[in-house]
Amino acid sequence: MVVRHFVALLLATAAVFVGSLPSSPVTFIFGDSLTEVGNNNYLPLSLAKSNYPHYGVDFKDGKATGRFTNGRTIGDIISAKLGIPPPPPFLSLSPTDEHVLKGVNYASGGAGILNDTGTYFIERLTFDDQINNFAKTKVWMKNKIGEEEANKLCNEALYFVGIGSNDYVNNFLQPFLADGQQYTHDEFLELLTSTLAEQLMRLYQLGARKTVFHGLGPLGCIPSQRAKSSRGECLKQVNLWVQQFNSKVQKLISTLNAHLPSSQLVFADTYGAVLHLIQNPMSYGFKVSNTSCCNVDTKVGGLCLPNSDLCKDRHEFVFWDAFHPSDAANVILAEAFFNIIFTKA
């Protein structure tokens, strides 16, 4: 009943993916820490890592893998619903690995649309870096199965892109960084969307035809932003900016679809439903949505550290740390997202 209510909210505002559910589809995932599965583990200087306890406490064997949650990411859960294993991190693969023909995860904690987003993490794979890595993957495909088959595989694959949160949280909203000082929000938004347009065009040129862009959620309501409010409330201005971003990207995607042959770009707008989950946690089986299960100092870093205290029941919390949903919340979000993409209206 909970999931049905959440899905109904989403389907009222979200586009539905064109076509029926593929059988064992090849999937390529691009994004940030919400979908990372371990790429940053291979970046020795990166400060954006989660390959230590308590991350992964509810994952297989209770081990941290580089996922920024206590268990599964949304991508893990969607992969299971598609009947496929979660695509492995790109940096774990070699040119001869069979996984390059089955799906790859390029997501990286700290990544953004802009290349200067998350610079204080030292190493991370920006969206441009991730697209570059997909281009390498396509070369590997051609070497294995030939150019014609590689092109066909890329045209028929599913692409999931979820990025942009860090461009706000770890860039524009940080007063000590240049972008927050030199741009108005309108100027910053124009920079973001014009850059994103070039990146989506490049993915298209590399063969992407069925691409889902996951819009931003209410960032003003995540624990790290609530900590800036004297009353621990959602930051209305941040949420307004996020809504403006979503609206502009949705228009961008409509424009690209109109001009790119065979393009099936979809904008998955989950903002309203996620806000409803945060504002009404008990309706979804949760008790707490204004702070995190892992007792972190949300004003300093906001990640879950090995010496952090955990809540008694992780299923009661929407947020795992100051930025990321818990495994239990990801189950709800993934179910809803899946129905947006694969349920016909």
**Quick check: 152 pLDDT over 60?**
yes
The amino acid present at 94, given as its one-letter code, is S
**Tell me: the pLDDT tens digits for 87-115?**
999 999 999 999 999 999 999 999 999 99
Of the listed 46, 79, 289, 324, which one is catalytic?
324
Cα(170)–Cα(179) distance, rounded to whole angstroms? 10
pLDDT at 237: 98
Answer yes or no: 321 catalytic: yes
Q: Which of 33, 46, 165, 289 is catalytic?
A: 33
At residue 9, the pLDDT reads: 52
Q: CATH assignment of 25-271, given 3.40.50, 3.80.10, 3.30.110, 1.10.1200?
A: 3.40.50
pLDDT for 16 beyond 60: no
In this structure, the chain runs to a length of: 345
Q: Which of 76, 179, 321, 327 is catalytic?
A: 321
User: Model confidence at 260, in pLDDT bands (50, 70, 90)?
Assistant: very high
Report pLDDT digits (tens) over 224-237.
999 999 999 999 99
The gap from C-alpha 87 to its chain's centroid, in whole angstroms, comes to 14
Measure the CA–CA gap between 53 and 110, rounded to whole angstroms.
19
DSSP alpha helix (H) spans, 83-233: 127-145, 147-156, 165-167, 178-182, 185-205, 223-226
Q: In the prediction, which pLDDT does 345 show?
A: 34
Is 33 part of the annotated catalytic residue set?
A: yes
Separation CA 309–CA 326 (nearest Å):
15
Query: Alpha-carbon Rg of the chain, whole angstroms?
Result: 19
pTM: 0.94
Question: Nearest 5°: phi and psi at 264?
Answer: -125, 60
